[in-house]
Structure 1
Amino acid sequence: MDNPRLDYLRDKVKKLPFQPGIYIMKDKKGQIIYIGKAKALKNRVSSYFRSVDKHTPKVYRMVENVWDFEYIVTSSEFEALVLECSFIKQHSPKYNILLKDDKGYHYIRIGGGEYGKITASHQPLKDGARYLGPYLSGYVVKQTVDEVNKVFLLPTCNRNFPQEIGKQRPCLNYHIKQCMAPCSGKISPEEYAEALEEAVSFLKGSSTQIQKVLTEKMIQASENLQFEKAARYRDRIRAIQGLQENQKVVSIRYEEEDVIALVQSSIKCCAVVLQFRDYRLVDKEYFMLDEMGEFSEEALFSADEQKKNQAAEKVLQEMRTQFVLRYYDMKGSVPKSVVLDGQPSCQQELEEYLSKKAGRSVQLLIPQKGDQMKLLSMAKENASQQIAEQTRRTSREISALDELARLLGLQKVPNYIEAYDISNIGSETIVAGMVVFEGGRPLKGAYRKFSVRSVQGKPDDYASMREVIIRRLERYSQHKEEGVGFGHLPDLILLDGGRGHVAAVKPIVQQMGFSIPVFGMAKDDRHRTRTIATEDGELSVSSFRSAFDLLTSIQDEVHRFSITYSRQKHASRAMDSVLRSVEGIGEKRAKNLFLRFRTLKAMEAATLEQLEETPGMTHLTACNLYRYLHEKTNEACGEETEN
């Protein structure tokens, strides 16, 4: 690292106390670039200046710019939390999680004219339309506009009325009863205006009041024997009632609560907040975050998987705490309960801080099952979708990789995964296949095949796997300047096998100086991924549905790839044995024939000229092969074979 002050900073750390407090990192100009809190200042601050090359990119950049630091000792971790929050708000350091409420205002637009439409708008214009608002949430505006158009059967198409009435057939929305189809010419301006005003009243008032008005109109129309009109009112009432039921989504325990979930990809982290008020979803917000966490030196080089898992979880806990603090500092108001997708770094202190800010009790909930978990799943899906839009990946792929990182306790989401499988047909054909998944998708251009050389006689999966991994990592040293193929180190290595495979391979990886996580994939009786194997035991994947599907895909693909190569190799050996019994065909000619025709059947179907065109073949050798394959009169060669 190009920081001439590292030795000075390491010496200064030695003088820090083992007490709670905050630390303030400054750059060469004396500007504050990062503020953090610590339960024990010496332990926390020293972690920044040890093993700096192992830090995440953002932490590395921050440490690279640290010229000096200050600290303030507090009497408790809670005081450190409050002080950290206050300082971050005051100084806005560039490497802290900083959130901006820059959504602006949103409006609902009611178009003018005989057939005005209801749409969402970012700002009111002087265009003769009516505007309702402003609203802070664009999500709420869009959701409300969609709902009211469906309930009152108002058009959402791009057709202009009355100019285009009768010129085209009604669209699909009419046939699925989501539009009254003024384009058909059967809806008068008066009927349309009535529906539009009812919709505006619904937007301005409560649904209970509009239901009462519609019920009165339905009864009056029925008494006047206007049964078709009465039916339309009845359908609107039912639509409003159905809308109220659908808005519940899933039942929630509290009148008001926020549901917060964080999802990570290899390059992005997204936090989503679902806001529930009056037992219904009223808003959704998302924030793209930069990660700010690191492993301790002990965790990085420990062979203990439990320590690594604990270190990875600690990073997530810190990120969760920082986001909650920044979010409610920005918002000002705090609901009665906040549902989180995991433990924050200091739950008791955070709960106390939020309660003090709200002036009443605030609960932090971390559900493990039930309806609250369904809400968290919905929040995670939304976060995954936001990352997918920015990384051109599907939300399913993002969720799977995020779950896999959590399951394995990895420091970062494994974007580049290599999987290996050994396949053998007898003792003579032992091969291995390596498949690569990048961003949750197969990267077939990076697939590689290996012929195992060191294992002779009885097959030995462990020895075969060791040989393959050694050869792969040695190739990295030769190709690392290229940065692709063997020159690209994986974020994760998966072996098709159990604890024994991991125990055989993991020490080799560490001895060669690589800190790549290694796990096994064990199958059940149905050949599906059952568990993830470690040196010490197994991890169940049953509760990680997206990760389970991804692991199954990887294991199926690496098995398919290796068994296909094994069969090709076996077929090649069998063909080689057959071909080399023909006079004039040796190892090289046999190999060229196999590469061109692949099977004996294809070779039998070939003409003498096609056999002769194979590299290395002569006319005489081609004739010998043709006679051997056909065992009948060979007019092309001008001779007759013996029966």
Structure 2
Amino acid sequence: MSEFNYKEELSKIPTEPGVYRYFDETGEVIYVGKAKSLKSRVSSYFLKSNQHDRKTKRLVSQIRRIEYTIVHSEWDALLLENQLIKQLQPKFNILLKDDKTYPFICVTDEPFPRVYPTRNMDRTKGTYYGPFANLRSMHTLLDMFKSLYQIRSCQLPLNKQNIGAGKWKVCLEFHIGNCKGPCEGFQDEADYNAEIDQVQHILKGNLSAPQQYFKEKMLAAAEQMAFEHAHAWKTKIEHLSSFQSKATVINPRIGNVDVLTIVSDEEAAYLNFMKIKQGYMVATQTLEVKKKLEESDAEILAMMIVEMRSVYGTESRELICNIKPELEMRLDVIVPQIGDKKKLLDMSMKNVMYFRREKAERREVEASASASKKDRVLIRLKADLQIKTLPRHIECFDNSNIQGTNPVAAMVCFKEGKPSKKDYRHFNIKTVQGPNDFASMNEVVGRRYLRLIAEEQPLPDLIVIDGGKGQLGAACDALKSLGIYGQVPVIGIAKRLEEIYFPEDSLPLYIDKKSESLKLIQQIRDEAHRFAITFHRDKRSKSSLVSELEGMNGVGKVTAAKLLRHFGTVRGIRESSLEELAGLIGLDRARKVRAYFDAMAE
């Protein structure tokens, strides 16, 4: 791989505004960018490498050549950057492709123009209006044109020669009143084009021109006593007024204005664009832009201003945004705080926030559908508890004591939604006297995570405490004393109504009783309870055996425990020989033990 002497290249770059292009060793353009000062911007890639994210560092490592173009202003640089990205499609750029997804309405450039929807844009065929992100709004317009005007739907080449030669006969559309029959010369071109002009006025957002046209036609018909014709023109005015009342979204006095809002996360930016003309919404679109180099909202916004205004053919001098782009624009960019423009901004923000939430939910559903049942439950649990990471490692604590005797605690561990029994732990309560569940919980939680920290072991993704607010509070106090409170989500589950309690929140969460996530929490809680009860029962059993053995003459607690560890049960001791006992506890004590059991057998 050839070396790139960036210092030599940087010395040649001017300080004027312009567009720069980065090439890799194959000669392919891998990135296009704009700058108010080319030298300053390009230098930042190489001189501030320690401040870059991983993706930008990868870009810089692949640069082998730099080219640049000087322009008059930063706005011109933005326009040129937009064109070059579309043309070259560099792999490190946000790709601004021409919109082929949404349909347009085309008014053809031919004698007796046609009006039809299409997804293929060919500027040589006519004038295109759109794109229409909402198909319903496009079909509403087309249906309105059909009710207001008599425009042909055929594709015949209606030039003067063909019409004069009588090549065609009128079709059914003429007989049902949807067309005036220009193919046979029943309608002249000037009359037809007058209606096409009205269509184009509406598509541009100017409803006043067709309204005036219909009104003049209605009055003229009324003066001539042609009341049926006058009523037909009045009906058209009503159709147009009905459409306008449904389409109006703001105070018409605001005039022509565009709206573009943006919100983002680590992966993508989400934008909503609205084109407002003379009091109603001409076009709207909400879209997602995948990030390539962790671009800022201001950078993406500047790029999309050029893109959306180009796609929608807007010439408005005012743009409403929720943030200001970081460059001088050739239009007024405002962030309104009050009034009708603020309401318009709020409506756009509402749309873009809903769009982002919908995208996130869709990704979660797709992830759940593709994941195994195990992962699906963990994903659901993560969503129900509103925690940040998937709880692949869960630990649950439970206390056990009966009337204050032999207090113990247990911790069970679930990994990937399944019991990990090798990680289960028993705890003998050491610092608490009597039946104090809160203090016992504080002790065992503190001991567990003090050990994990000391051994540099990873903490769990979720801690579950079997109990309500009291036990949960005691566990939280232990985490606080270790300085890890807040690093691991911790919840308490109360047995009575299966409420989920969160630290510092007096109101419990009630998860749907049929939810897989609640069933998993219950399974973990029940396993911790079983494990604690089993340990407690074993300890009580051994305690009673020790007490029995301590009743022998010459046998103390240490000797009794030693015998039980070796033989396991009192029966095992009873059936042992004198030699076995002597080898373990000495001949003198062995004789006393043997004499005790022999006397019991008589």
TM-score range (shorter-chain normalised) is: 0.3 to 0.5
Instruction: Return the index of the structure with the highest Cα Rg.
Output: 2
